[in-house]
Chain A
């Protein structure tokens, strides 16, 4: 009996180690000097998700590079924190470890941020996507006006579809996934109200097989253009790889590299300016209390056209006109 218990322990330890290694491969060595800004970020998916989490992670890395590397800015991250209790523990851990800025990158983390922020008044917290700072002076909230890029993508999509049928796929109909689609539908309708936009929600953020099947279903039903919240891109690309001849519009991150011959344009979330402002404000003594909204007009949202897709000039011109219209306020997109 003794011997087998030892083996069980060894095996469990191995399993735990493998999990641990994959869950928290650290980005930077903790070289805490007095001048180093220490930033921690908690993300619901992985830094390689080509979407929501990666958009924040890339922004942090960009800011770090600009500020002069790890000596100027330390970044620690916890990814795949889909379970809120785990995330709440991580938020508290980072705060008690003395991190200057703790970013809780998920709308599900709000209650945890509110609770921990009260206990650590010297720490700056930022969370999103939401607009609520809970009236706390050390909390920033941030969100993205995803409907704006959705509208632009819709304008382009409506001019490229031959079958007059567009498919939307995604995990669940909430948050910026919903506002993106709402904007997209308005954009399509502004070009041709007769175009049909069909939506499918799979109910799972991680079930790629089902998302792929959802995309195949749209294609079989006659759609030749697909879009959807960013997690579903992998499924659609998997489907298009087999069926070919469909187009994809991305959101949150530039997804062109995933499928250069498939992606027409992506709405890109650029958190860089916001992160820089939060760091600067903190240095100047303001710990929080503000809401940031990424928009086309403030450069937080960008439309990334895929260079390897041959977009007709007049379609691109219409897209640029829509971007200018939204920036200037001539076009109002309802969220």
Chain B
């Protein structure tokens, strides 16, 4: 089997997997980028994803409507975002600690609800793969890019949309201003608290959607701690991507592609130990982070609560 490693079929397989695997990272990391650009580090992403994943799963299980499930996941994410904003913006609590608290709250809540309402692992009919007309028929390219489920397309469309929002709209400029120099923004009449509430809630809604994409598009089931720390990798991707949607896209694709690559290498019986194989994505991420830190400038007011007249 070793001689035909990296045939066209394998490369297609790796890239298709990579696109699919990147989906929840993209939703969660782009969402986190909104929050961080406004100056709030939300470490609760993983917890929000778990609650969102459960909500989407449960609603889909009960109603059979994946769209309704995704909508409820967004709303639940929004509520978690309100909680995070209230703690970190209104009460000005230390962001790292309150984020971890939110994570544990989400982990506990989703596990508890799962036990009370479902009890055992069950599957749902999630989002089906949709082949895009014409584009989906192109050989190789079609299979890699245009035969996925709706949430996968949505995650990739989110990247240019987020870029446009942050760079080209007044709201985007306000978010950046509040994250760079809240005092100056405040003096110009921008409500720092309002902008941060908005950014954190928008990011959390996307985290909820990231959870939904996991439980109703990628794996079509829910179990306790389904995300397994995926949300924390999403936070790391924000740093990796230099707080830019395009950078996040590159990071998510790199991480997913290496992951897909190591899965395929194992299946094909390549001569590498599975222990080394599963380390690859993480090693590469660390290496890339080391090289990336030099060029990265984080939002100046990141992690700093804003108190009028303090600076």
Residue numbers of A with Cβ under 8 A of B are 3-4, 7-8, 11-12, 14-23, 25, 46, 48-50, 80, 167, 172-173, 196, 198-204, 206-210, 212-214, 216-218, 220-221, 234-235, 237-238, 241-242, 257-259
Contacts of A206 in B (CB 8 A): 225, 228
Number of chain B interface residues as a range? 35 or more
Which of B105-113, B165-173, B176-184, B244-252 forms contacts with chain A? Answer: B105-113
Contacts of B120 in A (CB 8 A): 48, 50, 257
Query: Is residue B115 within 8 Å, beta carbon to beta carbon, of the partner chain?
Result: yes
Which of B35-43, B185-193, B262-270 forms contacts with chain A? Answer: B262-270
- Could you mark each residue 239-276 of chain B with 1 if its beta carbon is under 8 Å from any beta carbon of chain A, else 0? 00000000000000000000110011011110000110
The smallest beta-carbon distance between B113 and chain A, in angstroms, is 9
A233 nearest CB neighbor, chain B only? B121
Further pairs besides A14-B105, A20-B108, A242-B129: 4, Cβ < 8 Å:
A22-B109, A203-B274, A213-B260, A217-B263
Query: Is residue B303 within 8 Å, beta carbon to beta carbon, of the partner chain?
Result: no
A-B pairs with beta carbons under 8 A, tally: 159
Do A242 and B268 contact each other (CB < 8 Å), given the known contacts A4-B91, A4-B92, A213-B20?
A: no
Query: Is residue B60 within 8 Å, beta carbon to beta carbon, of the partner chain?
Result: no
Contacts of A212 in B (CB 8 A): 218-219
Query: Is residue B201 within 8 Å, beta carbon to beta carbon, of the partner chain?
Result: no
Residues of B112-167 contacting chain A, CB below 8 A = 112, 115, 119-123, 125-126, 128-129
B1 engages A196 (CB within 8 Å) = yes
Residues of B202-250 contacting chain A, CB below 8 A = 214, 218-221, 223-226, 228, 230
B119 engages A48 (CB within 8 Å) = yes
A217 engages B115 (CB within 8 Å) = no
A238 engages B218 (CB within 8 Å) = yes
Contacts of B13 in A (CB 8 A): 217, 220-221
The 8 Å CB contact of B274, one of A20, A50, A173, is A173
Query: Is residue B17 within 8 Å, beta carbon to beta carbon, of the partner chain?
Result: yes
B221 engages A15 (CB within 8 Å) = no
Contacts of A220 in B (CB 8 A): 13, 16-17
A235 nearest CB neighbor, chain B only? B219
Most chain-B CB neighbours within 10 Å: which of A198, A238, A259? Answer: A238
The smallest beta-carbon distance between A325 and chain B, in angstroms, is 30
Do A217 and B267 contact each other (CB < 8 Å), given the known contacts A18-B109, A46-B224?
A: yes
Do A80 and B91 contact each other (CB < 8 Å), given the known contacts A19-B104, A201-B278, A259-B123?
A: no
Do A202 and B260 contact each other (CB < 8 Å), given the known contacts A8-B93, A167-B267, A196-B1?
A: no
Q: Complex formed: what's the CA distance from A207 to B226 in Å? A: 7
The smallest beta-carbon distance between A253 and chain B, in angstroms, is 11
Do A213 and B17 contact each other (CB < 8 Å), given the known contacts A48-B121, A238-B221, A259-B123?
A: yes
Do A21 and B223 contact each other (CB < 8 Å), given the known contacts A167-B267, A198-B267, A218-B267?
A: no
- Could you mark each residue 2-34 of chain B with 1 if its beta carbon is under 8 Å from any beta carbon of chain A, else 0? 000000001001001100110010000000000
Contacts of A167 in B (CB 8 A): 267
B121 engages A217 (CB within 8 Å) = no
The smallest beta-carbon distance between B264 and chain A, in angstroms, is 6
Q: Complex formed: what's the CA distance from A259 to B21 in Å? A: 23
B213 nearest CB neighbor, chain A only? A209
Query: Is residue B96 within 8 Å, beta carbon to beta carbon, of the partner chain?
Result: no
Do A217 and B105 contact each other (CB < 8 Å), given the known contacts A173-B274, A204-B228, A241-B220?
A: no
Contacts of B129 in A (CB 8 A): 242
Q: Complex formed: what's the CA distance from A21 to B224 in Å? A: 14
A22 engages B101 (CB within 8 Å) = no
Query: Is residue B87 within 8 Å, beta carbon to beta carbon, of the partner chain?
Result: yes
Contacts of A257 in B (CB 8 A): 120
B260 engages A217 (CB within 8 Å) = yes
Contacts of B85 in A (CB 8 A): none
Contacts of A80 in B (CB 8 A): 224
A8 engages B87 (CB within 8 Å) = yes
B105 engages A18 (CB within 8 Å) = yes
Do A237 and B266 contact each other (CB < 8 Å), given the known contacts A48-B120, A213-B20?
A: no
Contacts of B87 in A (CB 8 A): 7-8, 11
The smallest beta-carbon distance between B162 and chain A, in angstroms, is 22
A237 nearest CB neighbor, chain B only? B123
A22 engages B260 (CB within 8 Å) = no
B225 engages A221 (CB within 8 Å) = no
B23 nearest CB neighbor, chain A only? A209
Supply 8 A–B pairs (Cβ within 8 Å), ascending by A: A8-B87, A8-B93, A18-B105, A196-B1, A213-B17, A217-B267, A221-B267, A238-B221
B224 nearest CB neighbor, chain A only? A46
A18 engages B121 (CB within 8 Å) = no
A211 nearest CB neighbor, chain B only? B219
Contacts of B223 in A (CB 8 A): 49, 208, 234
B259 engages A213 (CB within 8 Å) = yes
A-B pairs, 4 with minimum CB distance:
A203-B278, A18-B108, A19-B108, A201-B274
B230 engages A209 (CB within 8 Å) = yes
A50 nearest CB neighbor, chain B only? B121
B266 engages A25 (CB within 8 Å) = no
Do A214 and B112 contact each other (CB < 8 Å), given the known contacts A4-B92, A15-B105, A208-B226?
A: no
Do A207 and B93 contact each other (CB < 8 Å), given the known contacts A15-B104, A200-B274, A213-B21?
A: no
A203 nearest CB neighbor, chain B only? B278
Most chain-A CB neighbours within 10 Å: which of B97, B119, B219? Answer: B219
Q: Complex formed: what's the CA distance from A206 to B230 in Å? A: 11
Query: Is residue B285 within 8 Å, beta carbon to beta carbon, of the partner chain?
Result: no
Q: Complex formed: what's the CA distance from A210 to B24 in Å? A: 12
Do A238 and B220 contact each other (CB < 8 Å), given the known contacts A22-B112, A173-B274, A200-B274?
A: yes
A48 engages B267 (CB within 8 Å) = no
Q: Complex formed: what's the CA distance from A213 to B214 in Å? A: 12
A54 nearest CB neighbor, chain B only? B120
